[in-house]
Amino acid sequence: MENLQGLSSQNPNVSAEEESKRKVAEDEMRRDMMATILDSAARERLSRIALVSPDRSRQVETIIMRMAQSGQLRGRVSEQQLIDLLDQMEDARSKTTTKTTIVYQRRRDFDDEDDF
C-alpha cells in the first residue's frame, strides 16, 4: 500500500516537470515566431505592452500567430499595423462591455434644507 502511494506521489512531480518543460518550449517557439513575424519596432512596442498588461500582449500574440498561420499576413507586421490591430481590439472590447457609471445618493436628514 505504501509503495502505491509513493508511486502516485512521484507521478504528479514528473507531470509537473514535463508540463514546465512543455511550457518553456512553447514560450520559446512563440518568441521565435514573433521575431520572424514582427519588425523590430513592432516587437519593441509589444514587449512594452507585455510589461504593463501581459494578458493583452498574449492575446495580441495569439491573434497575430493565427493571422500568420492562415495566410492573412503578407510580409512582416510593422508598428503601425500593430497599432491598428490594437485599436481594433479596443473597439471590439468597448462594444462588448458596457460602460459602468457610478451614481452617488446622499442621505438627507430631516433638518437639511436648501432654503438657507
The set of residues, in sequence order, having a beta carbon less than 8 Å from that of 90 and lying 6+ positions away, is: none
State the pLDDT at residue 6. 44
State the pLDDT at residue 86. 92
Q: Is the pLDDT of residue 73 over 60?
A: yes
Rounded average pLDDT over 53-77: 91
The set of residues, in sequence order, having a beta carbon less than 8 Å from that of 39 and lying 6+ positions away, is: 76, 77, 78, 79
* pLDDT range class, residue 12, cuts 50, 70, 90: low
Name the CA radius of gyration of the chain, rounded.
Answer: 25
- 82 close to 46: Cβ distance less than 8 angstroms: yes
